[in-house]
Amino acid sequence: MRRLLVVLLAVVLIAAGGAGLWFWSYLTTVHAGRDEVVVAIPRGAGVRGIGAILAARGLLEDDIRFLAYVHFAGLTTRLKAGEYSIPPGLTPPEVLQLLATGATLRHQVTVPEGLRLEQVAEIFARGGWVERDRFLTLARDPGFIAGLGITVEHLEGYLFPETYTLLRQETDAASVLRLMVAQFEREWAKIRPAQPGPMSRHQLVTLASIVEKETGVAEERPLIARVFLNRLARSMRLQSDPTVIYGLVDFSGNLTRNHLRQATPYNTYVIPALPPGPICSPGRAALEAVLRPAESNALYFVSKNDGSHVFSTNLADHNRAVRAYQKAR
């Protein structure tokens, strides 16, 4: 009987020792390869789901040792969702501790000045941040827009061009739109006039969007803004090609005389005022140009085909500049 007990004890100790070695090997074995591994942990994945995801990427083995370590290390409720970059050479405990820190990847997405709603949607859709149609639907949804605290029909002009830092698993169409409108509000607060002028904010943003599209030469923006303000003061049509293009459906890239005569709410060759809203997202420089325009009596400008323009105070000089720089349409 004594001999049987000794044998059984020996078996238990050997088994315990083997289990300990098995568990120890789990804690110390490096499963990551030579390159970093980017892994996305969705919200609500749970411990078992996280184990399966990490195992599928070759970062650890998803067995009872994983569950035991998570439990005894107090990580059951501390593993955070998000996108992580796992460097090579980490052990399973080091991988899990990284997920517990919440040190997720941060991505930068740049939205240039002068883009339309559809173009902004394309930038974020290409990066997998949003669904394009959902983005555009929300940007035109009265209820969603009202929740942003602005009174406009759509968000054209209010999605501020900027470089944004985004996190996977925390970004969707609604959050991107809120982020961009909030950035617009922050920038506007820095430059808005101390006293209200004759134009509403919406009209100023609309004019700034036209200035943004008319020139890529920074120093010209205040002068172009002045030209348009001078024309508005004299009840002259703005005659801005970019506004015509905005109002066209399926524009091919060739603006014709027929286009200039086509009646749309945005055709400033036809309507005697500003269009009903912005035609793109103006940057801060264009907004400032409208708020602080240059001093000038100019009423006309024409492209020199190099990005810059010739400005004129009268029609005769303008026509001469047109003949010098522009081919007849």
- Mean of pLDDT values over 128-157: 96
Per-residue confidence (pLDDT) for residue 99, from 0 to 100: 92
pLDDT at position 5 over 50: no
Contact yes or no for 275/206 (Cβ under 8 A): yes
Contact yes or no for 31/60 (Cβ under 8 A): yes
Spatial separation of the C-alpha atoms in residues 31 and 89, rounded to whole Å: 7
Contact yes or no for 313/298 (Cβ under 8 A): yes
Per-residue confidence (pLDDT) for residue 306, from 0 to 100: 84
Per-residue confidence (pLDDT) for residue 13, from 0 to 100: 36
Closest CA to 187 of 120, 111, 287: 287
pLDDT at position 2 over 70: no
Spatial separation of the C-alpha atoms in residues 212 and 217, rounded to whole Å: 10
Per-residue confidence (pLDDT) for residue 222, from 0 to 100: 96
Residue that wins the pLDDT comparison between 5 and 132? 132
pLDDT at position 238 over 80: yes
Report which residue type is found at 181: V
Query: What is the full DSSP assignment across 38-69?
Result: EEEE-TT-HHHHHHHHHHHTTSS--SHHHHHH
- Mean of pLDDT values over 182-192: 96
Spatial separation of the C-alpha atoms in residues 157 and 160, rounded to whole Å: 7
The secondary structure element, H or E, covering residue 71 is: helix 64-72
Closest CA to 303 of 216, 219, 228, 225: 216
pLDDT in tens, 298-312: 999 998 888 889 989
Per-residue confidence (pLDDT) for residue 35, from 0 to 100: 82
Spatial separation of the C-alpha atoms in residues 94 and 86, rounded to whole Å: 10
Per-residue confidence (pLDDT) for residue 72, from 0 to 100: 87
Domain ranges of the chain: 28-101, 107-191, 201-325
Contact yes or no for 322/307 (Cβ under 8 A): no
28-101 CATH fold = Dna Ligase; domain 1 (3.30.1490)
% of the chain with per-residue pLDDT over 90: 60
- Mean of pLDDT values over 128-145: 97
**Two tokens at 269?**
């060759």
- Report how far apart, in Å, the C-alpha atoms of 78 and of each of 30, 63, 81, 328 are: 22, 19, 10, 69
Per-residue confidence (pLDDT) for residue 9, from 0 to 100: 36
- Mean of pLDDT values over 246-270: 88
Residue that wins the pLDDT comparison between 326 and 58? 58
Contact yes or no for 212/113 (Cβ under 8 A): yes
Angle at 51 between CA 32 and CA 69, to 5 degrees: 90
What is the chain's mean pLDDT, rounded? 88
Using 50, 70 and 90 to split pLDDT, how confident is the model at 31?
Answer: low
Per-residue confidence (pLDDT) for residue 329, from 0 to 100: 43
pLDDT at position 164 over 90: yes
Name the percent of the chain in helix, strand, coil, to the closest 5: 50, 10, 45
Sign of CA dihedral 58, 53, 132, 145: negative
**Two tokens at 37?**
């591994």
- Mean of pLDDT values over 134-151: 96
Per-residue confidence (pLDDT) for residue 11, from 0 to 100: 38
Range of weakest confidence among 97-106, 146-155, 174-183: 97-106
- Mean of pLDDT values over 12-28: 60
Range of weakest confidence among 67-76, 125-134, 139-148: 67-76
Contact yes or no for 200/150 (Cβ under 8 A): no
% of the chain with per-residue pLDDT over 70: 91
Spatial separation of the C-alpha atoms in residues 225 and 266, rounded to whole Å: 18
pLDDT at position 12 over 90: no
Contact yes or no for 329/261 (Cβ under 8 A): no
Range of weakest confidence among 5-14, 89-98, 109-118, 270-279: 5-14
Per-residue confidence (pLDDT) for residue 23, from 0 to 100: 63
